[in-house]
C-alpha cells in the first residue's frame, strides 16, 4: 500500500507536484510514506476509541430508556396530564358521575405565592427544591412553573431505580434540559444522587439545564434532624434552593381561588376546606379519619395499613408486595377485637374516599402502595425514638430489591442501628453483584456504604480492606482524579485516622484536597469537608497551630457561604474551640463553646438531641464524665465525633489547673441531669461523600 502510493507520487504525480512549486519529488514521497505509515498505526487506535465511545453512548442511552419516563424522549410541553409527574388526582366535584371523571382530571391551577420564587431559580444551573407536607401542592406548583417557563426543554424523569451516572451524562449532553425529581428522598438513600452527579448535570457554560425536586417536610426534617449529620445527602440538599410551601392557602391565594369558582372543584373546596384547599382536594383528612375510626370495626384492615406504613418508615422505596404486607400485618392486629376476613380487610383498605381516587392502600396486581398523606401523618405524629421493630426490618429485607435494601440500610444507620444496617447493605450488595456484577457503579456504591458501617461497628481492618478494594476498582475504571475515586480515597483516609495511622491519613487527605481544590474550587462543600478532616488529623498529630489555621479558614468560608447558624458552620466553630482548648486558650475556647451551644439551644431547644449531644461533648471534654476533675492524658481517647470531618476529638489532653473549668461546670451542670437520664452517649450519624458512607463511631467523615 505504502509502496504503491510512493510510486504514484513519483511517477504519475510528479508533474503536478512540480507545478505546485516543489522541486524535490522524492521529499514529497518520503513525507507521504511517513504519513501513511503513521496513519496505518494510529487508525486502529482511533477506531478503538471511537468504538468505546459509541458503546458507552449506547449503554447510557439504554439505561435512560429503561429508567426514565417514556425513555427520556420528552419535552416539557408534551406533558398534558401532570399526574404522570406525581401530581395527586383531585376529588370529583359534587354531582359529577364517575363516568365523567376524565373531564375533571385536575382543577384549574390557583397561582401560589411562591410561584415567582420557584421561577427565579430556573436559571441555567439552577436546582430548586419545593418542600411541604403531603398534598400541599408541591408537584403541581413545580409543574406549572416549569411548563410556563421552559416548555421547549427536554424533560428527564427518572424512576426510583435509575442509574444516575448515566442520567447525569445524558443530561450533560443536552443543552436545554429539566431533570425532574418528585419525592427527592427516593433518590438520596443509597447514594446514587450525589453532589458529583448534581455537579455533572448543572456545571458548565452555554447551557440551560436545571433540576426541579419536591420533598415532604417530614422527610426533609428527618434528613436534617441532627445538626451534626452532614453526610452526602445533606450536602446534596445544601446545593438546592429550598422553597417552603405552606399547607394552607394564604389570604392572597384564597383571593385568587375566589376568582376561579367557575371550576366546580375549586368552588367545592372553598366551601368545605377552611383554607386547606389542596388537602381537601386529595381527601387527606378523610383518610386519617377513616383510619382512626376503624380500630374496632376493621382491625385487620388497619393492620394492613400499619404494616405498609412501617415498611415505608423503614426506608422501603416504591410499591410493596401484597405478600409482604400480609405477612407483616399480623404483628399489628389488636387482640381486643375480632378481625374481619383478609378479603374484607383488603376491600376496606383499598376503597377510595367518596368522589375521589384516594384510598389508604392501592393495589395494582401484586403491588401495594400506601397513601403518602398517611405516611406523612404518621411520621409527623410519632416520637423520634419510635423505630420500626427489628423483626419487621428482617422480614422486609426478605422481599426487598437492591434499592430498597440500600435505603433501609441507610435508614438503620442513621438511627444508629448498625447491625441492621450491615444486614441490609450486605443483602443489597449481593443483589447488585448478582444483577450487575462486582464492578458496576451501583455495586461499588453499596460496597462503599457497607465499608462505612463496618467502620461504625469498629471493624476497622475490614473497613479499610473494603475501602481499598473500592478505591482500586474506581481508579482503574475512572482514573485517580475522578470524583467517585476521590470519595473512596477520602473515606479510606478516615479509616486510617481511626486506626491511628495519622501520617498516612494526612497524606491521603492532602492529596484529595489538592485535586478537589483544582476541580471544584476552594469554596466547594466537598473541598471544605476534606480540609476540615485534614485539620482534625493535624490536631491529632499535635500540630495545633496548623490545625487552628485550617479550622479558621474553613469557618470563615462556611460562615460567608452558609451563615453563622448553619450546622456545618457550628460544627467547625466547635472544633476550633477544641483546638483553642488544646492550645491552653481557655477563655477563647469557652466563648466559642458557649456561642455554639447557645445558637443550637435557640434554634432547636435545649432538649433537642443535637443540642444535648453538643453539650455532652463539652462536658466530656472537660472531664465531667463520671467525675468533675481535669481531663487526664489519654492520647487514644477520641471522644468527640461529628459527621463533617469537623470532629472535636479530644486526643491530646492538657492539664490547666482549675482555670476556667469551674465556669464550664457552672454553665453545663443544668444539662447533666438530662444527659444522664438519656443513658449512653448520644451517637453521631453517618457521613459520606458520594453516598451515605463514611464515618466510624470514633471518626468523622467528609
Angle between helical axes of 195-202 and 232-239 (0-180°, round to 10): 30
Can you point out the beta strands (E) in 22-175? 127-132, 154-156
Task: Say which range, 2-16, 88-102, 107-121, has the weakest mean pLDDT.
Answer: 2-16
Task: Say which range, 34-43, 299-308, 366-375, has the weakest mean pLDDT.
Answer: 34-43
* Residues 569-601: tens digit of each pLDDT: 998 999 999 999 999 999 999 999 899 888 888
List the 154-156 sheet strands across, edge first.
Answer: 154-156, 176-181, 208-216, 127-132, 241-244
More confident residue, 683 or 189: 189
Which set of grid coordinates corresponds to residue 428? Answer: 443489597
Mean pLDDT of 345-352: 96
Domains of the chain: 76-247 (3.40.50.300)
Output the DSSP codes for 632-658.
PP-TT------TTS------S-----S
Residue 661 pLDDT exceeds 60: no
Distance in angstroms (rounded) separating the CA atoms of residues 555 and 565: 11
**Helix residue ranges per DSSP H, 382-482:** 390-399, 402-414, 418-436, 441-456, 460-478
More confident residue, 33 or 412: 412
Distance in angstroms (rounded) separating the CA atoms of residues 381 and 363: 26
Strands 361-364, 367-370: parallel, antiparallel or unpaired by DSSP? antiparallel
Residue 607 pLDDT exceeds 70: no
List beta partners, residue 321: 367
* Residues 533-544: tens digit of each pLDDT: 999 999 999 999
Q: Do 195 and 525 meet the contact criterion of CB atoms below 8 Å apart?
A: yes
pTM for the whole structure:
0.76
The pLDDT value recorded for residue 1 is 47
Task: Say which range, 163-172, 237-246, 579-588, has the weakest mean pLDDT.
Answer: 163-172
Residue 458 pLDDT exceeds 90: yes
Of 495, 427, 491, residue with least CA distance to 458: 495
Task: Say which range, 123-132, 164-173, 463-472, has the weakest mean pLDDT.
Answer: 164-173
More confident residue, 597 or 254: 254
pLDDT grade for 37, boundaries at 50, 70 and 90: low
Look over the chain and give the mean of its residue pLDDT values, rounded to a whole number.
80
Distance in angstroms (rounded) separating the CA atoms of residues 86 and 78: 15
Distance in angstroms (rounded) separating the CA atoms of residues 88 and 140: 8
Torsion of CA 278, 281, 283, 286, to 10 degrees: 80
Which set of grid coordinates corresponds to residue 155? Answer: 424533560
Amino acid at each position: 500500500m505504502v509502496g504503491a502510493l510512493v510510486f504514484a507520487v513519483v511517477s504519475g504525480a510528479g508533474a503536478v507536484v512540480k507545478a505546485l512549486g516543489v522541486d524535490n519529488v522524492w521529499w514529497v514521497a518520503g513525507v507521504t510514506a511517513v504519513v501513511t505509515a503513521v496513519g496505518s498505526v494510529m487508525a486502529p487506535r482511533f477506531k478503538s476509541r471511537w468504538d468505546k465511545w459509541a458503546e458507552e453512548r449506547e449503554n447510557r442511552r439504554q439505561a435512560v430508556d429503561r429508567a426514565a419516563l417514556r425513555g427520556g424522549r420528552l419535552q416539557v410541553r408534551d406533558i398534558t396530564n401532570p399526574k404522570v409527574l406525581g401530581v395527586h388526582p383531585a376529588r370529583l366535584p359534587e354531582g359529577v358521575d364517575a363516568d365523567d371523571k376524565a373531564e375533571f382530571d385536575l382543577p384549574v391551577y390557583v397561582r401560589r405565592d411562591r410561584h415567582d420564587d420557584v421561577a427565579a431559580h430556573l436559571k441555567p444551573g439552577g436546582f430548586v427544591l419545593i418542600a411541604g407536607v403531603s398534598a400541599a401542592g408541591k408537584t403541581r406548583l413545580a409543574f406549572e412553573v416549569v411548563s410556563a417557563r421552559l416548555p421547549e426543554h427536554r424533560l428527564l424523569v427518572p424512576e426510583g431505580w435509575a442509574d444516575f451516572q448515566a442520567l447525569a451524562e445524558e443530561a450533560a449532553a443536552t443543552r436545554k434540559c429539566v431533570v425532574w425529581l418528585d419525592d427527592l428522598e427516593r433518590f438520596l438513600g443509597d447514594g446514587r444522587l450525589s453532589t458529583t452527579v448534581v455537579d455533572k448535570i448543572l456545571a458548565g457554560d452555554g447551557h440551560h439545564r436545571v433540576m426541579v425536586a419536591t420533598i415532604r417536610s417530614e422527610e426533609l426534617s428527618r434528613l436534617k434532624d441532627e445538626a451534626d449529620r452532614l453526610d452526602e445527602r445533606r450536602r446534596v440538599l445544601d446545593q438546592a434552593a429550598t422553597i417552603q410551601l405552606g399547607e394552607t392557602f394564604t389570604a392572597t391565594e384564597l383571593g385568587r381561588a375566589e376568582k376561579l369558582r367557575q371550576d366546580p372543584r375549586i368552588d367545592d373546596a372553598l366551601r368545605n376546606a377552611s383554607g386547606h384547599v389542596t388537602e381537601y382536594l386529595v381527601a387527606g383528612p378523610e383518610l386519617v379519619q377513616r383510619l382512626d375510626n376503624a380500630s374496632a370495626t376493621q382491625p385487620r384492615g388497619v393492620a394492613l395499613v400499619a404494616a405498609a406504613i412501617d415498611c415505608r418508615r423503614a426506608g422501603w422505596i416504591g410499591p410493596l408486595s401484597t405478600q409482604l404486607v400480609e405477612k407483616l400485618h399480623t404483628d399489628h392486629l389488636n387482640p381486643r377485637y375480632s378481625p374481619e376476613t383478609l378479603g374484607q380487610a383488603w376491600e376496606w383498605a383499598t376503597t377510595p374516599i367518596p368522589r375521589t381516587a384516594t384510598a389508604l392502600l392501592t393495589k395494582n396486581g401484586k403491588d401495594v402502595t400506601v397513601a403518602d398523606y398517611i405516611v406523612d401523618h404518621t411520621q409527623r405524629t410519632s416520637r423520634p425514638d419510635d423505630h420500626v421493630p427489628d423483626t419487621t426490618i428482617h422480614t422486609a429485607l426478605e422481599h426487598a430489591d437492591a434499592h430498597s435494601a440500600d435505603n433501609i440500610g441507610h435508614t438503620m444507620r442513621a438511627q444508629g442501628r448498625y447491625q441492621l444496617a450491615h444486614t441490609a447493605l450486605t443483602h443489597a450488595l449481593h443483589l447488585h453483584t448478582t444483577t450487575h456484577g462486582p464492578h458496576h457503579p451501583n455495586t461499588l456504591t453499596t460496597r462503599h456504604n457497607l465499608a462505612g458501617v463496618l467502620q461504625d461497628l469498629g471493624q476497622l481492618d475490614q473497613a479499610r480492606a473494603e475501602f481499598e478494594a473500592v478505591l482500586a476498582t474506581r481508579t482503574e475504571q475512572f482514573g485517580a482524579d475522578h470524583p467517585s475515586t476521590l470519595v473512596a480515597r477520602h473515606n479510606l483516609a478516615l479509616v486510617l485516622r481511626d486506626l491511628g495511622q495519622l501520617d498516612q491519613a494526612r497524606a491521603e487527605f492532602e492529596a484529595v484536597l489538592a485535586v478537589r481544590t483544582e476541580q471544584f474550587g476552594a469554596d466547594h462543600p466537598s473541598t471544605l469537608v476534606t480540609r476540615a478532616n485534614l485539620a482534625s488529623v493535624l490536631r491529632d498529630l499535635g500540630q495545633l497551630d496548623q490545625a487552628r489555621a485550617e479550622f479558621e479558614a474553613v469557618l470563615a468560608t462556611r460562615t460567608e457561604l452558609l451563615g453563622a447558624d448553619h450546622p456545618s458552620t457550628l460544627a467547625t466553630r466547635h472544633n476550633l474551640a477544641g483546638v483553642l482548648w488544646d492550645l491552653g486558650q481557655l477563655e477563647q475556647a469557652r466563648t466559642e463553646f458557649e456561642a455554639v451551644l447557645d445558637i443550637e439551644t435557640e434554634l432547636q431547644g435545649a432538649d433537642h438531641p443535637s443540642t444535648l449531644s453538643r453539650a455532652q461533648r463539652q462536658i466530656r471534654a472537660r472531664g465531667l464524665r463520671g467525675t468533675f476533675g481535669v481531663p487526664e492524658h489519654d492520647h487514644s481517647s477520641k471522644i468527640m465525633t461529628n459527621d463533617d470531618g469537623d470532629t472535636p476529638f479530644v486526643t491530646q489532653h492538657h492539664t490547666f489547673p482549675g482555670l476556667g473549668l469551674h465556669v464550664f461546670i457552672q454553665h453545663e451542670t443544668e444539662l447533666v441531669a438530662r444527659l444522664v437520664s438519656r443513658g449512653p452517649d448520644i451517637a453521631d450519624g453517618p457521613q459520606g461523600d458520594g453516598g451515605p458512607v463514611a464515618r466510624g463511631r470514633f471518626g468523622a467523615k467528609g
